[in-house]
Structure formats: C-alpha cells, structure tokens
Structure 1
C-alpha cells in the first residue's frame, strides 16, 4: 500500500462539538422559482429544469450562487450564495440560511437534516455542521490546526474530513468523527499535503479516500477495521470522485477515462473519454462531463441500461452529491442566461434538472 499507514485508532476527545454558532436563520416560503420545461419533456410528468438559487420573494440573487448538493430523495438542496450557505426544502418551498463564509461548496446528508462546509477562522480552516431544524451551524472540534473537505453519512452522524498537521502544513490524515458518541477514528496518515479527500457511505461503514501524491484510491471498511490495496490496481494512477451512498460503487478517474468500481465484485466498469463528477446514492447513475466539449456539458448515464440523458446543453458544472436516488434529479450550476426565462442577474446560478 503506497503512501498509506492504516492507524485506525479510536480515542475519546473532549468537546467534539464547539459552542453553537447561530447563523441568522432565515425561514421563508418561496412564492415560485424561475422554471422552464424542455420541449421534449411533458410538464405533467414533473420533469424539467428549475432555478433554485432565488431569494425569499422569488427574485434573483445578485451574487454568484455555486455548488449544489441534493438529498437521496431529492427533497432538499444545499448551495452557497454571496458568502452564505442555504438549505432549501423543495416540497414546502422553504429556504433557510444556515451558515456563512464557506470556502468551498457545502455537502449534505442523505436525509437532508445536515449540511457540512469549511471556513477560514483566522489562519486556520474548520469544519462546520449546519442543521435544517435549528437553522444554524455548529463548529466541529477538530484536533488539528486545519480541517477541511467534509463528507457526511446519511443521517449526518459521521463526518469524514481531512486534518492537516503542522504550521506550515507538512502532513495530513483522514479522520472520521462520530459526533454523537464523541469519538474519532484516524484512517490514514500521509507525509505530504497533496489533495487527499474522503467520501463516506450513508451508514458510515465505508470511506473511500485518495493519496493525492501517489495517485492511489483506497477503501476503508469500519466493520473489519481494514483498508484495501489501491482499488485501481498497482500500475495505474487514480483520482477519487465519490463513493455511492449505499457503499456499493467507487467512482475514480484514470487518464482520460472514468471507472465505476464495484465493491462486492472488485471489478470496474470503464466509461471512456469522460470526466465523472458524481454518482447517485444507489450506484446506478453516473453524472459526467464529456471530454468532447462540442456537445452537452453534463450527461447522466444509466449504468445498468447503458443509456444517456442530457442534463445541460449549456456550459455547466456539478460536484459530488449532485444526483438523487435513481437519477431522478440532478443539481448543477451555470452562468448561462438561457436555461430558464428571466435570468438577467449576469451571475452563476444553481439549477435542478428533473427527469420523468
């Protein structure tokens, strides 16, 4: 196992959660976000595309809206706009501001109760956990100067993150926090600070992570307390994309191709000449960006049927947790002004595409 030492130690930590930091909770009913239906999709099916980064009164945000992560059932979406973190409940139309000043796009738990993001606090970075019910965020008591790149389990109980050690930073480790039990597990240590982010399964059993220097992807199993050999094989270089919520599939990039690794069989399905971006919670649908930029910017592939559906023809991007179960919804961001009517703010917006 190159560049990895499996420490898998568990220890009690004092104060796993810091004092609650109220983030000016905002609960409002949205009178209606801008939406449009593609010509080839029937409205009665519930399919189409909708802009979700809108203000409480349904008007446009004036600043850039970015990110976008969706729950397993497609009910809730988290995104950031104008240095604020928002959670939106689609059926009720409620929008809550649950945090501020995210460094990167927030992620969401499968049930939509929690979102996680990281912030700069003086010279250090810290992970915060935002809750829908409370409408506020709490700081995770990371025992390192810098903690970042969180990934949440289905109920938000387990938080996988990167802890960077030293000032200036010289090494890092992959941690999993159980903040209900106030415990932490250290999965791996690296003697470098090349990107090495984690992705956790819905039940918290599996964590996929990468060694950004050695270009390896590993899979840790809580039940067995063990870490796999590099899943891409010893002769390849790989970059982690995402572990599916059910823990059945690991998506990684290698060369110009994307691979979907089956945890049970140990085999990988190759999707050539595309950049994988996210996988749905069941491991059955892959969101990707074609390497050929003359066509659609985002495509959703049914891995079982081998069929594709266009998510966006206009330039767009998406991150992990962007697809709901079964590929029913996909959330993405774009600066294009012609995705929905009335988009005149000239900034990046967040959209959700629904399929019938």
Structure 2
C-alpha cells in the first residue's frame, strides 16, 4: 500500500456549532422551458417534473430564464428535488447584487427556496431532499453549512479545525462526511463523519498534506469512500466493522475517487483514461474503458460519464447491467456527483449551450434535467 491511513476509528471529539437561521424564499414556477429528446417543446404550463425530455430548472419565479449564471446540480433519489447555485438576481427576491446563492427546487410543486449564500463549490443534497450541504469562506477560513428545506435554517458544523470542506450527505442528511484541514497555512488534513443528531464525530483518517480527499458517504452512513490525493489511492471505511480497506484499486495503480453509490454497493474511481465500478461486496471491478465517470445512480446500476472522444455527445448514461447507453446531452455539458436519480430516470447537468431548450438567450450557464421515464 502506497498511502498511509489510520485504520482505527476515533470516537467523539466535538459537537456541532450553533444553528444559524437564514431566510428561505419560496416561489412558484408556473412553467419552465422544456423540450423532449428530439428538441420539441413541451406544453407550456404542464406539470413541472413530468414526462420524458429535457427541462431547464434554473429559471426565474415567473418561469422565464434567469439573468445570471447557474452551476452545479444534484438530484434526490426519487428525482423530486434538485439543488444548484446561481448568481441570478431574478430567481429569488433580494439578490440585487447578484451574489452566488444556493437553491433547492421541488419539481412536482415548482417551489424554489433560497437556502444559503456564497458557496465555494457545487452544493450536494441528501437522498430524501430535506438537506443540502455546501462550504463557504468566512474571513480566512472555510466552513460547511447544512441547510434544511422544511425549516429554512442553516447549521454550521464545528469540525474542530480552521477549515472544513468537501461535504457529502447520507440519505436522510444525518451523517455528514467532510474534510478538516489543520493549521494556517494548512499543512495536513483529516476525514471526519459527523452525526449531528447525536452531536458526535468520528475521525477516519489523517494525511500530512492538503491534496483533495473527496469523501463520499453511503445513504445509511455505513460506508465512506475517500482518497489520498497525494499518492492517488482510494480507501473505503466501514462503520459496522470500524475498519478501513484499501487501496481499492490495488497497490500498483493510481486512482481518483468519483463517489460511492447511495446503497453502498458500488464505488466509482478513475484510473488513467478509464473508469472502474468497484463492487463492494465481491471486491471485483467493472471496467468502462476510455471514459470519465462523473456520477453513479443510488442503486449502483447506472453510470453517468463523459466520453474521452470529444467528437460525439458530451454526456452519456450507461446501464451497467444491460451494457447500453443513453445520450444525456449532445451539446457541451458537465455534471457532478449525485447527478443521477434511482434507476437512471433523471440526470442533472449544466451547460452554456443555447439550443438545449427553446428560448435560451441569456448567454449564461444554466442547469438542466434530462428525464428518461
């Protein structure tokens, strides 16, 4: 094993920070611009989030396009809610300065809530859609925020360090995996899991560097996958056994973690120009050659990827059981983790292309959802 990691589970060493209440703005979206896979517009005013096709979700309260760029995009297990960030001034009231904000959108009802401000990176979402997590810069330090759909409140996690970043949420939002970097300037880091219901923390690993660790937690909080960014090794922590296994990819291969599926059955990593889908129970890996894996659906059966061949579609969805592909976007587009709902039914992505849906003239990056069923 090339990397070093602490295989002993450390117990409680901290408590959560105080909850900070923020304003949650709820608006109705009467008809987002949408199109079917062939580019034919759906009927205006139809129920949001139904049918097959592609729909722009980063829209203003009156259903028109936003006046600012929108990025990111993560979707719940059932495809009902989507989180993204945007600098638009007309998505929610009071954003006249055009600052970056975090938005949660409920597709069936068309409700949109502003749940946070100034995210550094794309927000993530819990499997049930009740919570979103993101990290922000506070003076010289970074902190993880946990925002709730129902209460409209934001909890700041006290990670016992100057900087917290790279959050990942369990299915119900109870467990938060994140990175805590130590010192100023930061010279080392650890991987933590917070159970904020019980106000407890477990420390999974320490590294003597600050290369990205990218933790990814399973839906029940049992597994956390993470990487040693310096040695390019991927590890898997198991709460039930209090142990860590790895490197998952083998001692002779470098790897970059993508994520673990919500059900904890599959772990996706990149190595060279290929993507591997590691089966947690058997220890075997499924090779998907010459592609960059971006996300896996909650059941571990559908892989969202970007082909290394840039001449064709920019995003595809592979059914790993059937070995078949669906085109997500023919236009240049990108996506992050948690971008696929269960069974590969929905995929969230971002693009600056102006011909994905009719009437896209804002010249900005927008967030879209492609529905296959």
Instruction: Specify if TM > 0.5.
Output: yes
Deviation at 1:6, TM superposition (A): 2.6
d(CA) in 2 for partners of 1:100, 1:239: 29
Deviation at 1:42, TM superposition (A): 11
* Paired position in structure 2 for 1:68: 73
Instruction: State how 1:121-136 maps to structure 2 within 5 Å.
Output: 121-136=138-153
d(CA) in 2 for partners of 1:175, 1:188: 8
Instruction: State how 1:286-325 maps to structure 2 within 5 Å.
Output: 286-325=303-342
Deviates more, 1:266-275 or 1:3-12: 3-12
Deviates more, 1:58-67 or 1:252-261: 58-67
* Paired position in structure 2 for 1:120: 137
Does residue 1:191 correspond to 2:190, yes or no? no
Q: Is the CA contact 2:21–2:152 (under 8 Å) kept in the aligned structure 1? A: no
d(CA) in 1 for partners of 2:305, 2:196: 33
d(CA) in 2 for partners of 1:17, 1:302: 42
d(CA) in 1 for partners of 2:248, 2:41: 42
Deviation at 1:350, TM superposition (A): 0.1
Q: Is the CA contact 2:8–2:243 (under 8 Å) kept in the aligned structure 1? A: no
* Paired position in structure 1 for 2:239: 222
Does residue 1:264 correspond to 2:281, yes or no? yes
* Paired position in structure 1 for 2:14: 13
- Segments ≥4 residues shifted beyond 2 Å: 38-45
Instruction: State how 1:96-107 maps to structure 2 within 5 Å.
Output: 96-107=113-124
d(CA) in 2 for partners of 1:39, 1:168: 52
d(CA) in 2 for partners of 1:93, 1:129: 22
d(CA) in 2 for partners of 1:345, 1:322: 24
Does residue 1:168 correspond to 2:185, yes or no? yes
* Paired position in structure 1 for 2:366: 349
Say how many residue pairs are matched: 354
Deviation at 1:12, TM superposition (A): 4.5
Q: Is the CA contact 1:41–1:47 (under 8 Å) kept in the aligned structure 2? A: no
Q: Is the CA contact 2:34–2:41 (under 8 Å) kept in the aligned structure 1? A: no
Does residue 1:153 correspond to 2:170, yes or no? yes
Secondary structure of the structure 2 residue equivalent to 1:73: coil
Q: Is the CA contact 1:244–1:283 (under 8 Å) kept in the aligned structure 2? A: yes
Deviations 1:306-355 (A, max 9, x none): 00000000000000000000000000000000000111110000000000
Unaligned runs of 5+ in 2: 44-49, 88-99
* Paired position in structure 2 for 1:32: 31
* Paired position in structure 2 for 1:77: 82
Q: Is the CA contact 1:17–1:179 (under 8 Å) kept in the aligned structure 2? A: no
* Paired position in structure 2 for 1:334: 351
Unaligned runs of 5+ in 1: none
Q: Is the CA contact 1:125–1:145 (under 8 Å) kept in the aligned structure 2? A: yes
Q: Is the CA contact 2:39–2:357 (under 8 Å) kept in the aligned structure 1? A: no
Equivalent in 50, 57, 60 of residue 62 of structure 2: 57
Q: Is the CA contact 2:267–2:278 (under 8 Å) kept in the aligned structure 1? A: yes
Deviation at 1:62, TM superposition (A): 1.2
